[in-house]
A and B are shown apart, each in its own frame.
Chain A
Amino acid sequence: MEQLAQLGRIGISTLERLGRGHVLLLHMLSGVTALLVRPKLLIAQIHSVGVLSMLIITVSGLFVGMVLALQGYYILSQFGAEETLGVMVAASLVRELGPVVTGLLFAGRAGSALTAEIGLMKATEQLSGLEMMAIDPIKRILTPRFMAGLISMPLLAALFSAIGVIGGHFVGVGLLGVDDGAYWSQMQAKIDLHEDIFNGVIKSIVFGFVCTWIALFQGHDCVPTSEGVSRATTRTVVHSALAVLCLDFVLTALMFGE
């Protein structure tokens, strides 16, 4: 009986959180029009959310591309199909690894920072202070960050894939001796704009949306103490990672299944 009540409590509090999350989302979206008038706010956030994440994305993309080329070459060479290495590298990156790994890195780099920032602003009464100055903190502080995440994530994923292709070229063509022309021309011929690239972009937009939403909600909903902020930051990373991986499966099934 006790356990049942416990289960019920957990269920109710989860539903409550979900509800608060959606209310927050609507509130943030209602601030988008006001943001259009002040693009400076958005640009500043794109800088801190997106531009500052570029380094980690670039380095990771490079290494992932290089590993893909190594592994791919090993398998493909067994069938004498080394020339298709470019296709393999590019398809893996554009369809899967670009959006997914970028999403995971984005949650760790930008998402955790957003949660900590908003949580600390709440704990130090900065958000209450804004309210008393008749400034809606959700529209003024959260909306620009949300839009910045939404815009940055697909661009970062594209960067990741592009750098990965270059890394694959460096290892495949430069070190393993795959034909340079074959690497590019096979890729050009086989990678489909709609099937591969468009679907990958959709994934990265969805991941950006979900990760930024989770990060901002956790920050805004945290217990306003140092422990509360640290817990919220952990939750952001864990929930975002799970959300990215689960959604990736769902999206992949919808896009490529049949």
Chain B
Amino acid sequence: MQNSAVNQKLMPLHPNDNNEPLVKIRGLRFYRGNRAIFDGIDIDIPKGSITAIMGPSGTGKTTLLKLIGGQLRPDGGTIHVNGQNVHQLNNKDLYKLRMSMGMLFQSGALLTDIDVFDNVAYPLREHTKLPESIIRKLVLMKLEAVGLRGARNLMPSELSGGMARRVALARAIVFDPEMVMYDEPFTGQDPISMGVLIKLIPRLNKASQLTSIVVSHDVEETSNIADVIYVISNGKVIAGGPSEQVANSDSPWVRQFMDGQADGPVPFHFPAEPLETDILGN
């Protein structure tokens, strides 16, 4: 009895507790100038799941990933990753936390002065002392998974947009992180590589107990692989929960987004004055 009380004091919340979400966002607020990008949102990203974040362009999905990665500071609210408050960590602990995260940037963000192979090998070479022969095997395996083993000697400037993104994906997973954030992995992919990626993401998840956050506009494909879906619009979470529930929700907000209708409660336009006054003047 006493023993367990002591234990509880030492470990109030075991970070790897299965019920505890890996990423826990509470009351998050974030402003760009006077515009609220997030106005008090709560999101739970369960461990070992694939969570899709959807929403109209410009709602702040990329911003959300950067907040989770600690690259931006929120104006209010908290983000816990693995039980740690990301924005209260000191630099050293933040970098330690990032070692367990992989991120696929929307733009790829490959280093332009080294070739594809070196780009993918980069995190391994920076963080480990693995011999070159092992690095080679690891890198080629990841490149094989994204179908670009043959492109290893190309420079980033010689890649197409879709290829660059797949290289970036290989780089994001080369370190076998616990969590990967994919910012629009399917954009610019032909149906074949899209199909490969759609199989690859769940496979990685199963094989290595990964937690994935997928930001995507491809409603159908993403809801097929996602366990949990959040739809963000206008600074609020307009729907969140298990994917079937969200996909079949009859809320007009969600329906409009899922079915891709221009008219509905979700604004298609960036906030502006009415078209008539803008064009005709007052």
Interface residues of A in 129-161 (CB under 8 A from B): 129, 131-136, 140
B99 CB contacts on chain A under 8 angstroms:
134
Give per-residue flags for B66-105: 1 if the beta carbon is below 8 A from chain A beta carbons, else 0.
1001010000000000000000000000011011011101
Q: Which residues in A have some Cβ–Cβ distance to B below 8 Å?
A: 121, 124-126, 128-129, 131-136, 140
B100 nearest CB neighbor, chain A only: A134
Q: At the interface, yes or no: B253 with Cβ under 8 Å from chain A? A: no
Which 6 residue pairs spanning A and B have beta carbons closest together?
A129-B109, A134-B98, A125-B109, A132-B103, A134-B99, A134-B95
CB pair A131–B98 under 8 Å, yes or no, is: yes
Chain B residues near A136: list those with CB within 8 A. 95
| Given A128-B71, A140-B126, A134-B109 contact (CB < 8 Å) | no
B71 touches A124 (CB 8 A): no
B105 touches A129 (CB 8 A): yes
Q: Please, which residues of chain A bring their CB within 8 A of the CB of B127?
A: 134-135
List 28 A–B pairs whose Cβ atoms lie within 8 Å, in order of A's numbering: A124-B107, A124-B109, A125-B105, A125-B109, A126-B109, A126-B110, A128-B66, A128-B105, A128-B109, A129-B103, A129-B109, A129-B110, A131-B69, A131-B71, A131-B98, A132-B69, A132-B71, A132-B102, A132-B105, A133-B123, A133-B175, A134-B96, A134-B98, A134-B99, A134-B127, A135-B123, A135-B126, A136-B95
Determine if B111 is an interface residue (Cβ-Cβ < 8 Å).
yes
Residue from A126, A131, A132 within 8 A of B111 (CB atoms): A126
Residue from the list A121, A125, A134 in contact with B107, Cβ < 8 A: A125
**Could you tell me the distance in whole angstroms from the C-beta of A165 to the nearest C-beta in chain B?**
37
Counting contact residues on chain B (CB < 8 A from A), the size range is 20 to 34
| Residue B112 at the chain A interface, CB threshold 8 Å | yes
Contacts of A126 in B (CB 8 A): 109-112
- Among A121, A132, A140, which residue has the most Cβ atoms of chain B within 10 A? A132
Contacts of B105 in A (CB 8 A): 125, 128-129, 132
- Chain B residues with CB under 8 Å of A140's CB are 126
A133 to B110, CA, bound (A): 12
Residues of chain B having any CB pair with chain A under 8 Å = 66, 69, 71, 95-96, 98-99, 101-103, 105, 107, 109-112, 122-123, 126-127, 171, 175
- State the CA gap A32–B107 with chains docked (Å): 31
C-alpha gap A133/B153 in the complex (Å): 22
- Specify the main secondary structure of chain B where it touches its partner: mixed
User: What distance in Å separates the Cβ of B245 from its nearest Cβ neighbour in chain A?
Assistant: 31
Bound CA span A125–B104, Å: 11
CB-based contact A124/B95 at 8 Å: no
Report Cα–Cα, A39/B155, bound state, in Å: 25
Cα of A134 to Cα of B122 in the assembled complex, Å: 11
**Chain A residues whose CB sits within 8 angstroms of the CB of B71 once the complex forms:** 128, 131-132
Residues in B with CB closer than 8 Å to A124 are: 107, 109, 112
**Cβ-closest chain B residue relative to A141:** B111
Query: Distance (Å) between the CB of A224 and the closest chain B CB?
Result: 11
A133–B111 CB distance below 8 A: no
B112 pairs with A133, CB closer than 8 A: no
Tell me the nearest residue of chain B to A117, going by C-beta. Answer: B113
Cβ of B87 to closest chain A Cβ, rounded Å = 14
Query: Which residues of chain A come closer than 8 Å to B102, judged between CB atoms?
Result: 132
Known: A125-B105, A126-B111. A132 touches B98 (CB 8 A): yes
Q: Which A residues touch B98, using CB under 8 A?
A: 131-134
Q: Which residues of chain A come closer than 8 Å to B66, judged between CB atoms?
A: 128
Kindly state the separation between the CA atoms of A74 and B13 in the bound complex, as whole angstroms.
86
Nearest Cβ on chain B to A127's Cβ, whole angstroms: 9
Q: How far is the CB of B70 from chain A (nearest CB, A)?
A: 8
Question: In the complex, what residues of B have CB within 8 A of residue A125's CB?
Answer: 105, 107, 109
Which chain A residues border B96 with CB–CB below 8 Å?
A: 134
In the bound complex, residues from chain A placing their C-beta under 8 Å from that of B111 are 126, 129
Q: In the complex, A135→B102 CA distance in Å?
A: 12
User: B26 to chain A: closest CB distance in Å?
Assistant: 23
- Nearest Cβ on chain A to B187's Cβ, whole angstroms: 15
Output the residue of A126, A128, A129 with the most chain B CB within 10 A. Answer: A129
Distance of B120 from chain A, by nearest CB (Å):
11
